[in-house]
Amino acid sequence: MSPQIFSENWRKPTTILISALSFVVFLILDFLDNFLCILYRYIDELFEGQASSCFCASKEQQVRNVGGYGEGELSETLYQRKNAFREMGFLGFAKKSRKTGGGAVVNRWSDCGCESCLSWMNDCDQKLHFVVREPSQAIADQDCRGKPAENVIFLHGFLCSSSFWTETVFPNLSERVNRNYRLFAIDLLGFGRSPKPRDCMYTLKEHLEMIEKSVICPFQLDSFHVVAHSMGCLIAIALAAKHSKLIKSITLVAPPYIPSKDGDSLRVLEKLAQRKLWPPFQFGTSFMSWYEHLGRCVCFLVCRNHRMWERIVKLLTRRRDLHFMTMDLTRHTHHSAWHTMHNVICGGAKLMDGYLQVLSKAGVKVVVIHGDKDNVVPLECSNNIQMIVPNAEVTIIKNADHSSVLLGRERDFTRRLEHIWESIAC
């Protein structure tokens, strides 16, 4: 028997076995998530006096509980996620008396209460945290040439912060750019050192309003470039479309753009977080995306105790300082990450076609950079953008994944950005 025939004979039984195992595992997770819905209800009432709302109820009940949000602002994936026990009405009694948890600044018992994680509460204006690098000779250049400094806004991806840019691009900028460009690296709402309010649903609209409130309006930006990675690309596209007369260029790195047919956000969730056991990363993504209460358990164990984990990692690696991405991984709350993932990545997909069409008609320079080994965001996402914006420049980096499309090639990436900005200035 040839090796090929032997392989084909085993392929079908293996596929059936994996499918059966997957069904059993996710069935158990469905049950556990329903059980934790009840458990968290009573624990929240014990520690906070009232139960926090969740998305185990029907869409109609959720709309009543949340309130204050317009049509389409909240993603359908929040309450249309498949769960075998929820669809059967199992444990439905736990949802009848659920109340909406409130409080804009009160920290939840399951969130970290360290000084670093609560530093945003000291800001009365509740603006985003950002790092700004002013041009070293902006005033002199403006006096000599009559031309103001260029502005660039950097937006990070999911579970990251402004460090993604300040630790990679900022140190590699040329002297000419340092003299003539003003750079803003932003911690998006709910991440890094930015506010993480409990009364916020972290919709695309709320992310945009906070960027405008924190950077665009205070600094009176009359023109700017945008550079974004991963999830930040969706916010960047929306921001650029809203300010299409001000935007000069938009650079999208590994954009998770999945066309949403007929506004079907669930299709996006199934595409980016398919319920699969293998590979492990895919399982982790589906675990955190489909199970609200199980995901909260992970955040309780990891994010709330991040200082302990950081000490352990430092001890094991014998390093005094951890990599910035390791530090950023826990700088959020479950509430902020959960709602941003659903309302921006999944729910925002149905708005992207319209936004991209606005940019195309406005003649905005759109540049897309993607790694051909990206196992987080399919390469087809970049091709989807080019179908709507035919003039978009799409660059595929060989042997690069979701992170190494930038990490490990910081200097080349920065030179590419500078070339994009200069091509607009000419």
Read off the CATH number of the domain in which 281 is found: 3.40.50.1820
Task: Tell me the percentage of the chain whose pLDDT exceeds 70.
Answer: 86
Q: Both ends of the chain: CA-CA distance in Å?
A: 66
Average pLDDT of the residues in 235-248: 97
Query: Across 4-18, 53-67, 102-116, 309-323, which has the greatest mean pLDDT?
Result: 309-323
Q: With cut-offs at 50, 70 and 90, classify the pLDDT of residue 79.
A: confident
CB atoms within 10 A of CB 382: 24
Per-position b or e across 257-281, b if 16+ CB within 10 A of its CB? bbbbeeebbebbbbbbbebebeeee
Confidence of residue 137 (pLDDT cuts 50, 70, 90): low
What's the maximum distance between 2 C-alpha atoms anywhere in the chain? Answer: 81
pLDDT at 405: 97
Confidence band, pLDDT 50/70/90 cuts, at residue 393: very high
pLDDT at 140 exceeding the cut of 60: no
The answer to whether residue 132 scores a pLDDT higher than 60 is: yes
Q: Confirm whether 324 is domain-assigned.
A: yes
**Quick one: pLDDT at residue 287?**
95
pLDDT computed for residue 17 by the predictor: 81
| pLDDT confidence band for 93 (50 / 70 / 90) | very low
- Return the sign of the alpha-carbon dihedral for residues 381, 386, 389, 394: positive
Q: What pLDDT does residue 16 have?
A: 80
Q: What pLDDT does residue 112 have?
A: 94
Side-chain half-sphere exposure of 390, counting CA atoms within 13 A: 1
Please give the Cα distance from 57 to 340 (Å, whole number).
19
In sequence order, the 6+-apart residues with CB closer than 8 A to the CB of 189 are 128, 195, 196, 200, 202, 206, 207, 210, 336, 340
pLDDT exceeds cutoff 70 at 184: yes
Asked if 334 is an active-site residue, the reply is no
**Within-domain flag for 40:** no
Task: Return d(Cα 393, Cα 391) in angstroms, integer.
Answer: 6
55 domain-assigned: no
Which has more confidence, 311 or 71?
311
Q: Say yes or no to pLDDT of 97 above 80.
A: no
- Find the mean pLDDT for residues 203-212: 97
Q: What is the pLDDT of residue 81?
A: 87
Q: Position 37: which residue type?
A: C
CB 157 within 8 A of CB 328: no
* Rounded Cα gap, residues 203 and 214, in angstroms: 17
Tell me the two tokens of residue 95: 């949802």
Pick the catalytic residue: 75, 194, 230, 336? Answer: 230
Mean pLDDT value of segment 348-369: 95
- In a domain? residue 59: no
Residue-level pLDDT at 394: 96
Q: What is the mean pLDDT of residues 218-230?
A: 97
Give the C-alpha distances (Å, rounded to integers) separating 422 from 170, 409, 426.
17, 20, 6
Integer CA distances (angstroms), 278 to 14, 273, 283, 287, 398, in order: 13, 12, 6, 12, 24
Catalytic, 156? Answer yes
Taking residues 297-315, what's their average pLDDT? 95
404 is annotated as an active-site residue: no
For residue 45, pLDDT beyond 70: yes
Higher local confidence (pLDDT), 183 or 105: 183
Would residue 225 show up in a list of annotated catalytic residues for this protein? Answer: no
Predicted confidence band of residue 101 (pLDDT cuts 50, 70, 90): very low
pLDDT the model gives residue 99 = 45
Catalytic option among 44, 75, 111, 156 = 156
Average pLDDT over residues 366-384: 95
Q: Considering the domain boundaries, does residue 187 fall inside one?
A: yes
Give yes or no for residue 70 having a pLDDT over 90: no
Evaluate whether residue 18 is within a structural domain: no
Residue 269 domain-assigned? yes
Pair 340, 202: CB distance under 8 Å: yes
Q: What angle do CA 162, 163, 168 make, to 5 degrees?
A: 115
Catalytic residue among 187, 374, 382, 403: 374
Q: Which residue out of 163, 207, 402, 403 is catalytically annotated?
A: 402
pLDDT tens profile 31-44? 999 999 999 999 99
pLDDT band at 143 (very low <50, low <70, confident <90, very high): very low
Q: How many domains does the chain have?
A: 1
85 φ, ψ (degrees, to nearest 5): -75, -30
- 88, with CB counted inside 10 A (0-12, 13-18, 19+), is exposed
Range of the domain at 264: 108-137+148-423
Return the bridge partners of 371, or none. 397
Residue 349 lies in a domain: yes
Range among 20-24, 135-139, 264-268, 291-295 rated most confident: 291-295
